[in-house]
Amino acid sequence: MSESEEEELIVKYLSNNATARELNILSDWILVEGNAKKFEKYIQLHLEIMTSMNVPDTDKIKNNLIRKIKRDKIRKNFVGFIKYAAIGLLIVSLGYYIQHERSLSNKTNVLIPEEEAITIILSNGKMETLSTNDNREVRDAEGDLIVVQNKAKLSYPAKLGNQKLIYNTLNVPYGKKIDLVLSDGTHVYLNSGTTLRYPVAFIQGASRKVYLTGEAYFDVTEDKEHPFVVNVNEVDIKVLGTKFNVSHYPEDDNINTVLVEGAVEMQIVSEGISNLESVLLAPGHKAEWHRTSNEISLSNVDTSLYTAWLRGKLIFRNTPFKQIREALQRHYNVVIHNTNSQLEEQLFDATFDIETIDQVLESFSKSWTIDYTIVDNEIIIK
C-alpha cells in the first residue's frame, strides 16, 4: 500500500467514511512495525486540517488521542479474527476524541441509565437508603452510632467486641461503587452490583468473617490473633493482613481472587465434602475455583487488570463478549440483550475509562459491524 493510499484510508476512517473492509485493511496495516507512529502522525496532520476549519478544542483532542495511543499498546500476537476485533475496537475508540457527540436519533429510543440508591440493611431489618452526595450518621433505635457516611465512604467506629455478632448488609447497585471501613480499620472497596454482609463489630477470640457476592477489593488490617475471612459461596479466603481482589457475581461459574500484597489462602468449604482443597497464593497470582470440577487453579497475572475498576477503568484482555456485556451492564447500570450467538463468544481486547455507554456501543458496532437498537431503555444487539 502506497503512502498516499495509507493516508487516504486513515482520513476515511477519521471522517467516519471507512467501510468494514477498509477497517480490516487498516487493522492489518497498523500491526506492522512502525505503522503505529505513522498512524499518530496522520492523526496530528488531520487535526491541523480540522483546526483550519475552526473545529473547537483540537489541542485537547490531540492530547487525548496521543495519550490513548501510548496507553493502549497494539498487541501483535493475535490469531484469526481476534486481531481484527481488538485492533478495530482500539482505532474506533480513538475516533471519539475527534468527533462531536453523536446523536442516537437513528435508534428507537434514547438510552437513559437508571439511578438506584445504595442501601444498608441494619440488624433489626430496617433499610437505610444512602446518597453518595450526603454526609450523615446512622444510629440505632437507642441512639447509638452505627456508621458514619462521608459521601461515597462509610466508616464503622472501633468498638469492643460484642457477646454476639450483629450484622449489617450493604447493597451496591449497578452503576455505583463505595468505600467501606469496618470497625477493625479494614478497607473494603465494593464494585457495582455487590452485596457484603459483615459484623458491626468483631468478637474477641473469633475470626473476622464477612460474606461477599459480587466484587470487592480488600485492604485488611493485620491482626494475627483474629484472621480475616471472606466467604464467597463455596469458598473461604483467609488472610492476616493483605491487599487482594475477590470476584464472584451470581452469573459467574467461577470464583477468583487476585493477590496484590501479602498472603492469602483459598479453601473450598462445600458441605458434605471431606479433605477439601486449599491453595496458598503469592503476590501477583490469581486463584480460581471452578464450579464444574470443584477444583482450584493458580496462575500468574497482571494484578492491575483486575483492580482497574478501582480507578474507574474497564480493561478486557482476550475476554469473551459475554463477560464484557455483563461488566458493561454493571458499570453503566443498563440492560443489554444479545441475540448474536457468534458475537457472544468472540474475544476482545479493550480499554474504557471516560467513554459513555453510547460511545462504547458504537465502538463495538464498528469493530464487529453489529447493529443494535434501544427499546424501552434496553439495548438489543441483533
Q: Which domain holds residue 99?
A: 3-109+312-381
| d(C-alpha 372, C-alpha 376), whole Å | 13
The CATH number for 335's domain is 3.55.50.30
- DSSP characters for 158-186? P-PPPSS--EEEEEE-TT--EEEE-TTS-
Q: What are phi and psi of 96, to 5 degrees?
A: -70, -20
Considering the domain architecture, whether residues 87 and 122 belong to the same structural domain is answered as no
Considering the domain architecture, whether residues 72 and 216 belong to the same structural domain is answered as no
Considering the domain architecture, whether residues 13 and 151 belong to the same structural domain is answered as no
Residues of the chain above pLDDT 70, percent: 74
Q: How many CB atoms lie within 10 A of CB 306?
A: 22
Nearest alpha-carbon partner for 294 in 273, 317, 308, 322:
273
The CATH number for 244's domain is 2.60.120.1440
Nearest alpha-carbon partner for 174 in 151, 190, 196:
190
Sheet containing 378-381: which strands, arranged edge to edge?
Answer: 336-338, 378-381, 372-375
Q: Which amino acid is at 210?
A: V
End-to-end, the C-alpha distance of the chain in Å comes to 34
Are the beta carbons of 230 and 214 closer than 8 angstroms?
Answer: no
Average pLDDT over residues 274-295: 86
Nearest alpha-carbon partner for 183 in 169, 198, 205:
198
| d(C-alpha 272, C-alpha 208), whole Å | 24
For 106-143, the pLDDT digits (tens) are 444 667 777 899 999 998 899 999 999 999 999 887 88
Cα separation values, 191 from 59, 172, 260, 285, 312, Å: 34, 7, 17, 21, 10
**Domain edge (last residue) among 272, 306, 340:** 306
Residue 375 parent element (H or E): strand 372-375
| d(C-alpha 48, C-alpha 75), whole Å | 28
Q: Tell me the average pLDDT of the chain.
A: 80
Considering the domain architecture, whether residues 245 and 344 belong to the same structural domain is answered as no
Are the beta carbons of 124 and 168 closer than 8 angstroms?
Answer: no
pLDDT above 90 for 80: no
Q: How many structural domains is the chain composed of?
A: 2
For 130-187, the pLDDT digits (tens) are 999 999 999 887 888 899 999 999 999 987 555 788 999 999 999 999 999 999 999 9
Considering the domain architecture, whether residues 225 and 264 belong to the same structural domain is answered as yes
Are the beta carbons of 266 and 287 closer than 8 angstroms?
Answer: yes
Q: Has this prediction a pTM greater than 0.95?
A: no
What cell numbers appear for 215 in the block? Answer: 466484587
Query: Looking at residue 242, what DSSP letter applies?
Result: -
**Domain edge (last residue) among 287, 306, 325:** 306
Q: What are phi and psi of 107, to 5 degrees?
A: -95, 165
Considering the domain architecture, whether residues 141 and 260 belong to the same structural domain is answered as yes
pLDDT above 80 for 201: yes
Q: What are phi and psi of 56, to 5 degrees?
A: -70, 155
Considering the domain architecture, whether residues 158 and 290 belong to the same structural domain is answered as yes
Considering the domain architecture, whether residues 153 and 69 belong to the same structural domain is answered as no
Considering the domain architecture, whether residues 137 and 25 belong to the same structural domain is answered as no
What cell numbers appear for 378 in the block? Answer: 434496553
What is the b/e burial string over 38-58, where b = at least 16 CB atoms within 10 angstroms of the residue's CB? Answer: bbbebbeebbeebeeeeeeeb
Q: What is the pLDDT of residue 366?
A: 77
Considering the domain architecture, whether residues 32 and 145 belong to the same structural domain is answered as no
Considering the domain architecture, whether residues 242 and 175 belong to the same structural domain is answered as yes
How long is the chain? Answer: 382
Which positions ≥6 away from 294 have C-beta within 8 Å?
268, 270, 273, 277
Q: What is the pLDDT of residue 209?
A: 96
**Domain edge (last residue) among 267, 289, 306:** 306
Q: What is the pLDDT of residue 376?
A: 83
Q: How many helices (H) and strands (E) does the chain have?
A: 9, 23
Q: What is the pLDDT of residue 231?
A: 96
Considering the domain architecture, whether residues 78 and 153 belong to the same structural domain is answered as no
| d(C-alpha 199, C-alpha 158), whole Å | 12
